[in-house]
Every structure is written in structure tokens, then in C-alpha cells.
Amino acid sequence: MAETDWIAVDWGSSQLRAWAMGADGSVLQWVSAERGMLTLAPDQFEPALLELIERWLPAAGVVTVIACGMVGARQGWREAPYCQVPCAPLSARQFVMIPSHSEQLKVYLLPGLSQELPADVMRGEETQIAGVLERQPEFNGIVCLPGTHCKWVRVNQGKVTGFQTFMTGELFALLAEHSVLKHGMNDPQADTLSSSLPEFLSAMRSAFEQPGQLSAALFSLRAQGLLQGMTADEARARLSGLLIGAELAASQMFRADEPVIIVGDSGVAELYAEALQSLGITPQRLNADAVTLAGLKAARSLLGI
């Protein structure tokens, strides 16, 4: 293996992922572990990281580590205070260098972004936005980042000018696994949505048209299971459709008519793309890992090392 030039890290709530980067910008190796921020006390971050990357370290000399995500939250390794929008997604003078015990590591945490009104925050997605801009420096428009907390981010002339977070993914998981609706659902891990796309789109459109009726429409899923024998696959597709439809209605003003990029290639990103398409919007799609890595590379360039 060629010598590790620096190490890129995406450290979220539940997962830690690291890439050993070559001097030519190529990925030499990568690794991931279930050592997310939520599982670690402040003094456990460095050992958890070292355990994963020790074999990549050269015999001598210091290696730069650049990490984004929840690792920089108040409950993380150390707090990297938010940058307030409007601002560039990454600003080198806001990066936080952490004193590490190992003399071989020089660790930088990337801060998240905050918005005062309406109050909102992100950690990790700012790096993906930087990656999007690395790929498409001229992009002006909306970046949609589906996930547990889906973000809609407005980008203008290289800056993030505003964003809006929806709890759609978390609501889906809570409702499908822990609410009365679970009785009519199948395993929310199983990917059966492709066969239920018409049901997804019909529920999506109904919630898009009447987003304020969401909490009544949710209970109706239960009643349709009891009264009309709605199948578990259909119930799951409709639940997803209702939540995403309400989100698309609520983000409509924010989106205006600007071009949309969806970051992600998971099943849920696919659903956002299908939903937007059925509303007459054709989003561009970018791979999530690719933009994360591009963003971490952009951070390294900003450091000028």
C-alpha cells in the first residue's frame, strides 16, 4: 500500500467511517465501524479512531485527520461551534484542531452550520454541500439531503444562504416500528417499496395537496388495514408517501422553482426523486459517499496543507 498522506473521516451519530488518502487524492483503503458519536464518551473518541486507522499510520511523522459530522457536537469529541448562514459551507478558520494524545495525529473537526430564524442546525451535511460545489462550482439552487432528518439547503454563489430540516425519516421509523401503525406494517428494513410505487405516489400526492391533514391521514392507515384489508406493503408505502408528500408541500416555498440536486442513492433518496418527478421536477442525483469525500478533500485544500 502506498503511504497514507492524510485521513478523511465521516463521524456520525451511529457510524464512524475513515478513508486513507494517497498524495494523489486517491483512496488507498477505507473502513467503517459502529462507533458513532452516541456510543462514545469524550475520552473514547481518540482510542476509537486509533483502533481503526493505526495500521495506516507511517512508522514516523504526523498525519492530518479531517473529520466531519456529529463528532463535533457538544456531546462529541469536542465542540466545533456552528458557523451561521449565510456563509460558505466550509471555512478553514472555523475548523477546530484537537489536542490529541498520540503524537502522530493532527486532528481537525469541521463545524456544522446554524440558522437563526427559523432556528435550524446541521452537522455533516455542510461537508456534503462543499462536495457538491467541488463537483459543480457554478451550481445555484437547492440541495436535498434525505436521511433521518432530511435537509433542504439553498446554495447561492458558493454560499449556503438558508436551510430547512424535516424529521421525516425519524417520524417514519417511530411510526412504523413503535406506534399503533406497526400492527399493519411489515418489516421496515425490507425493501418492498419498488413493488408499491403507485401506492407511495398516490399517498404522496394526497399529503402534498393537504399537508395539514397529516395526523388524521396517519390514523386512517390503521383503519384501512382493519376495515379494507390494506396489505402491510401498501401500508408501509402509504406511510412513506404521506410523510414525504407533507414534506414536499412544506418545502415548496423554500424550493421555489430552483434546480434540485438530491444527494444519496439509498431507497429513500430514490423515493424523493420519484416524488419530485411526479410533481414535474427532475432532480439531479449525486452519490452521497462521493460528495462526502469530495467535501473532506475540499476541507483539506482549504487548510492549505
- Nearer to a second copy by Cβ, of 8 and 110: the residue is 110
Shortest reach from residue 186's CB to a second copy, in Å: 18
Restricted to residues 232-271, the positions that interact with a second copy (CB under 8 A) are 243, 246-247, 249-251
- Nearer to a second copy by Cβ, of 52 and 160: the residue is 160
Question: First CA to last CA across the chain, in angstroms?
Answer: 22
Beta partners for 115?
120
Residue pair 58/3 in contact by the 8 Å Cβ criterion: yes
C-alpha cell at 248: 414536499
Residue 149 near a second copy by CB under 8 A: yes
Restricted to residues 175-234, the positions that interact with a second copy (CB under 8 A) are 175, 178-180, 211-220, 222-224, 226-228
- Nearer to a second copy by Cβ, of 22 and 86: the residue is 86
Shortest reach from residue 156's CB to a second copy, in Å: 20
- Nearer to a second copy by Cβ, of 102 and 179: the residue is 179
Shortest reach from residue 185's CB to a second copy, in Å: 14
Beta partners for 27?
21
CA dist 224 and 151 (Å) reads: 31
User: Which of 171, 268, 269, 275: binder of a second copy (CB under 8 A)?
Assistant: 171
- Nearer to a second copy by Cβ, of 211 and 259: the residue is 211
**What is the torsional sign of CA 41, 42, 45, 47?**
negative
Site stretch for a second copy (CB under 8 A), options 19-27, 133-141, 161-169, 260-268: 161-169
Listing DSSP states for 106-124 in one string gives: EEEEPP-EEETTTTEEESS
Burial 203-238 (b: 16+ CB within 10 A, else e): bbbbbbeebeebeebbeebbeebeeeebebbbbbbb
Listing DSSP states for 186-229 in one string gives: --TTS--GGGGHHHHHHHHHHHHH-GGGHHHHHHHHHHHHHHH-
- Nearer to a second copy by Cβ, of 1 and 256: the residue is 256
Residue 93 near a second copy by CB under 8 A: no
Residue 42 near a second copy by CB under 8 A: no
Restricted to residues 102-131, the positions that interact with a second copy (CB under 8 A) are 114-116, 118-121
Residue 153, amino acid: V
Site stretch for a second copy (CB under 8 A), options 61-69, 98-106, 158-166, 296-304: 158-166
What are the angstrom distances between the C-alpha of 298 and each of 147, 152, 303, 305?
Answer: 23, 21, 9, 11
Applying CB under 8 A, the residues found at the interface with a second copy are: 74, 82, 114-116, 118-121, 148-149, 164-168, 170-171, 174-175, 178-180, 211-220, 222-224, 226-228, 243, 246-247, 249-251
